[in-house]
């Protein structure tokens, strides 16, 4: 399991939690989709989550 680093951004912490638990909530999904003005690195993190979601590697929970 990944342990969030002390200097991780809130987005990085959310993505680490999602990937380590293999679960994403609807609230997480909506929050990630609503983000704007993202850096290339932040877009890549979000794409990792949604790629795994599309592949069925993440479970959507409420």
On whether residue 3 sits in a domain, the answer given is no
Residue 2 lies in a domain: no
pLDDT-based confidence at residue 7 (cuts at 50, 70, 90): low
For 17-56, the pLDDT digits (tens) are 999 999 999 999 988 888 889 999 999 999 999 999 999 9
In the chain, how many domains are there? Answer: 1
40 inside domain: yes
Nearest-angstrom CA–CA distance, 62 and 41: 28
Q: Considering only CA atoms, give the Rg of the chain.
A: 11
Per-residue pLDDT band at 62 (split at 50, 70, 90) = confident
pLDDT for the residue 10: 86
pTM > 0.85: yes or no: no
Q: What is the DSSP string of the chain?
A: -PPPPTT--HHHHHHHHHHHHTEEEHHHHHHHHH--S--HHHHHHHHHHHHHHHTT-SEEE-
Domain that holds residue 28: 10-61
């Amino acid at each position: 399991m990944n342990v969030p680093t002390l200097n991780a951004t809130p987005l990085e912490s959310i993505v680490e939690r999602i990937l380590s638990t293999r679960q994403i909530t609807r609230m997480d999904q909506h929050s990630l989709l609503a983000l704007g003005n993202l850096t290339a690195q932040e877009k890549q993190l979000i794409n990792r989550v949604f790629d795994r979601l599309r592949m069925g590697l993440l479970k959507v929970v409420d």
